[in-house]
Amino acid sequence: MTLPLRLPRVRRGGEPRQKTYVFNWTGRIGLAIILFWCVVAIVGQWFTPYPVGKIVDWNYFGPVSSQFWMGTDYLGRDIFSRIMMGARYTVGISLAAVTLACAAGVILGMVAAVIGGWFDTLLSRLLDAFNGIPSLLFGLVVVAAVGSSIPILILTLAAIYMPGSYRFARALAVNINTMDFVTVARARGEATPYLILREIFPNIVGPVLADLGLRFVFIVLVLSGLSFLGLGVQPPNADWGALVRENIEGLSYGAPAVIFPSLAIASLTISVNMFIDNLPTKIRDRSE
Amino acid sequence: MPATGCASPASGKGSPCLLRSSTTWLLVAQRLGIALITLVIVSFAVFFATQLLPGDVAQILLGQAATPEAVAGLRTAMGLDEPAMLRFIHWLTGLATGDLGVSYVNHMEISTLIAGRLANSLELAGVVAALSTPVALCLGILAAMYRGTLLDRAISVATIVVISVPEFMVATLAVLIFAVWLGWFPALSYGVDVDSIGAMLRAYALPVISLSFVVSAQMIRMTRAAMIETINTPYVEMALLKGASRTRMVLVHALPNALGPIANAVALSLSYLVGGVIIVETVFNYPGVAKLMVDAVATRDLPLIQSCAMIFCFSYLSLTTLADMIAILSNPRLRR
């Protein structure tokens, strides 16, 4: 299965590089929202207006008021506080998973591209086969078998998205691998680790970072989906997907308890997409 | 190597030469072979992932109070004391012959549990595919035709938004708008009795609408990309230069050659149904295979989970394989 990712063109050696690192406005707005959620994920714990698990209102599915900025949930807990705490799970788990997936995928991809031969063929075939499992389904099966805990979630999500990252990095690295400076380095007698670290990696790092951003969005979506099905972060803790699930009963009343966690997920994923789409060409290396 | 009688490269698309070329069939056979191998690896993964369960299945079934003799008896009866590899082969042959085993929870034949549900799910998927494909194709081609205009930008922003938000959010939004604020449809699809055609239509409407949004967004994006790639080729530019209108340029010159990539895009987008259907069936309480599987996960009914997972993997794989085969068959460059 191929994800519709854009494969950036590889930079040619002699091209003039007058492009700068300036972000346009859409990119800046995206970056601002991403940074905002990161800050909330790190320090939000100390700024919640009410204790996260405490029932503060006898009126369940309460409306937006000056006392409860985003209403109250099905037990009468403050949604604003729960969203601030949920940021920690949603952003934290996704970030850990995407880092793991991309690190493993990129390293394996570069090694496969440089070594080539049967190692490359075997690994590519095997990981392509794993790409043949729909992502949400893979999560369902693993969680059904091993149960749900945060380390399991991180590992599962990383395992789901590692093959895609591998394929992406390998395609880029194969292109670089045929270039003259790599041949020269090889002729100099450099070892494989040197080739990978000093010759290949610096030349693919830009597109790989852009790919990491897109993969982060997919991971947030699958994590929220799993939590929504009740298989992700377990109560009493809740990430944003779990918040939507808890309060889904309130949907028929149009309760803010369902709407605000959904908005939080949407704001995070859309802003990452906005940011990645508007990355400066110098980082992204897009030919357009 | 090209088959005899196929020498003229100008014979173009759709010529009988396509079917006579042995390399094409070789490529198709190769792709089918890869799909088959993938399916075996996937079933291997599904089987052994569910074997990771800590604890003994027989012990779990009988509860803590069971005597060791009873547990041992059940283990032998269920064939659990055989080596894992042998059980895997048994399970795989059972799967191939339609014997899916027995549910741990209610001791019913899994094939009877699934049969009715599968029809429901296929019905949902079929309606969604029939509804979203024409709409998505038109919008995608329009966006590519008027690239850079307000229409194109509006479509692009809308599809990006739908793709970036989780499926359950699309579904909940649809409920909020159509069921809560407008009051057109009931919020749950099977809580209501479906005695008349009108009631049935209304019960189906929300799941179909939500799923269509998710699938169409993917399809529009991919169709637009495939179309733009064709429009950027020199011969389409030539058509424009010789004075063809934009409509003629796109519909007569570009579209026939973009059909292959577009069909590929349609098949790939339909594979998103597999993920979407899991969420949408849960939100709307729709009695399909996905709901069955999510319930099975809650009760840890492993044989049922395995069978449902295989159904999903199989449909996903067949769609992606179909997409690849369309790409092979529609690309004359691969035919040498």
| Separation of alpha carbons A82 and A45, rounded Å | 10
Contact B156, B239 (CB under 8 A): no
Alpha helices per DSSP H over A178-254: 180-188, 192-194, 201-228, 240-246
Whole-number Å distance between alpha carbons of B169 and B280: 10
Q: Do A270 and B164 touch (CB under 8 A)?
A: yes
**pTM metric for this prediction:** 0.81
CA distances in angstroms from A81 to A67, A71, A243, listed in the order given: 12, 10, 12
In the predicted structure, residue B179 carries a pLDDT above the cut 80: no
Q: How would you class A102 by CB atoms within 10 Å of its CB: exposed for 0-12, middle for 13-18, buried for 19 or more?
A: buried
B133 in Cβ contact with B219 (< 8 Å):
yes
Cβ A199 vs Cβ A108: under 8 Å: no
Contacts of A170 (CB under 8 A, 6+ apart): A108, A109, A110, A112, A113, A120, A124
pLDDT of residue B16 exceeding 90, the answer is no
Asked whether the beta carbons of A55 and A76 are under 8 A apart, the reply is: yes
Give the distance from residue B176's alpha carbon to the nearest chain A alpha carbon, in angstroms. Answer: 7
Which residues 261-280 of B are in CB contact (within 8 Å) with A? 268, 271, 274-275, 278-279
- H/E segment holding residue A172: helix A150-177
Is the CB of residue A199 less than 8 Å from the CB of residue A181? yes
Whether B98 shows a pLDDT value over 60: the answer reads yes
Using an 8 Å Cβ cutoff, are A251 and B176 in contact?
yes
Amino acid in position A61 = F
H or E, element range at A54: none
**Closest approach of chain B CAs to the CA of A140, in angstroms?**
7
- Listed by number, the residues of chain A in 98-117 with a beta carbon closer than 8 Å to a beta carbon of chain B are none
Provide the pLDDT for residue A6.
Answer: 45
Q: Nearest Cβ partner of A269 from B164, B180, B312? A: B164
Comparing C-alpha atoms, which of B83, B113, B130, B52 is closest to residue B311? Answer: B113
In this prediction, residue B63 carries a pLDDT of 66
Res A267 pLDDT > 60: yes
Q: Distance of CA A104 to CAs A97, A109, A149, A170, A218, Å? A: 11, 8, 21, 12, 17
- Helices (DSSP H) in chain B: which residue ranges? 17-20, 22-50, 57-62, 68-78, 84-96, 110-145, 150-164, 167-174, 197-231, 234-241, 246-248, 255-270, 272-284, 289-299, 302-330
Q: What is the pLDDT of residues B139-149, one digit of tens each?
A: 999 998 888 88
Round to whole Å and give the CA distance between B63 and B284. 34
- pLDDT interval class at B21 (50, 70, 90): low
pLDDT band at B47 (very low <50, low <70, confident <90, very high): confident
pLDDT of residue B135: 93
B312 and A265 in contact by Cβ < 8 A?
no
The answer, for B187 touching chain A at a CB cutoff of 8 Å, is yes
- Nearest alpha-carbon partner for A37 in A225, A269, A274: A269
Element (H, E) at A284: helix A281-284
* B131's tokens: 């509804």
Each residue's pLDDT tens digit, A76-110: 788 888 888 888 889 999 999 999 999 999 999 99
Is A152 at the interface with chain B, CB within 8 A?
Answer: no
Q: Nearest C-alpha of chain A: how many angstroms from B10?
A: 31
Contact A115, A179 (CB under 8 A): no
* Interval B143-169 mean pLDDT: 87
Least confident of A7-16, A209-218, B195-204, B231-240: A7-16
**Residue B2 pLDDT exceeds 80:** no
Tell me the backbone φ, ψ of residue A72, rounded to 5 degrees: -125, 160
CA dist A105 and A162 (Å) reads: 5
Please state, in angstroms and rounded to a whole number, the distance separating the CA atoms of residues B157 and B159: 6
Among B228, B229, B221, CA closest to B266:
B221
The answer to whether residue A145 neighbours chain B at the CB level (below 8 Å) is yes
A146 touches chain B (CB under 8 A): yes
pLDDT band at A17 (very low <50, low <70, confident <90, very high): very low
Measured over all CA atoms, what is the biggest interatomic distance in chain A, rounded to whole angstroms? Answer: 75
Query: Over chain A, what is the mean pLDDT?
Result: 81
Q: List CB contacts of A95: < 8 A, sequence separation 6 or more.
A: A216
Q: Any CB–CB contact under 8 A between A126 and chain B?
A: yes
**Distance (Å, whole) CA A253 – CA A98:** 36
Q: Which of 203-232 (A) contact B at CB < 8 A?
A: 217, 221, 224-225, 228-231
Instruction: Note whether A76 and A252 are within 8 A (CB).
Output: no
Contacts across the A-B interface (CB distance below 8 Å) = 152
Q: What is the pLDDT of residue B14?
A: 46
What is the structure's pLDDT at A101? 94
For the complex shown, is ipTM > 0.85? no
Is the CB of residue B316 less than 8 Å from the CB of residue A134?
yes
Question: What pLDDT, on the 0 to 100 scale, is given for residue B136?
Answer: 92
Q: What is the pLDDT of residues A134-169, one digit of tens each?
A: 888 888 888 877 778 888 889 999 988 999 899 899
- Chain segment B108-126, per-residue pLDDT in tens: 788 888 888 888 888 888 8
Q: Inform me whether the pLDDT recorded for B54 exceeds 50.
A: yes
Asked whether B128 and B208 are in contact (CB, 8 A), the reply is: yes
**CB-based contact B271 A144, cutoff 8 Å:** no
Q: A78: which DSSP letter?
A: B
Burial A193-230 (b: 16+ CB within 10 A, else e): eebbeebbbebbebbbebbbbbbbbbbbbbbbbbbbbb
Q: How far is CA B285 from the centre of its chain?
A: 20
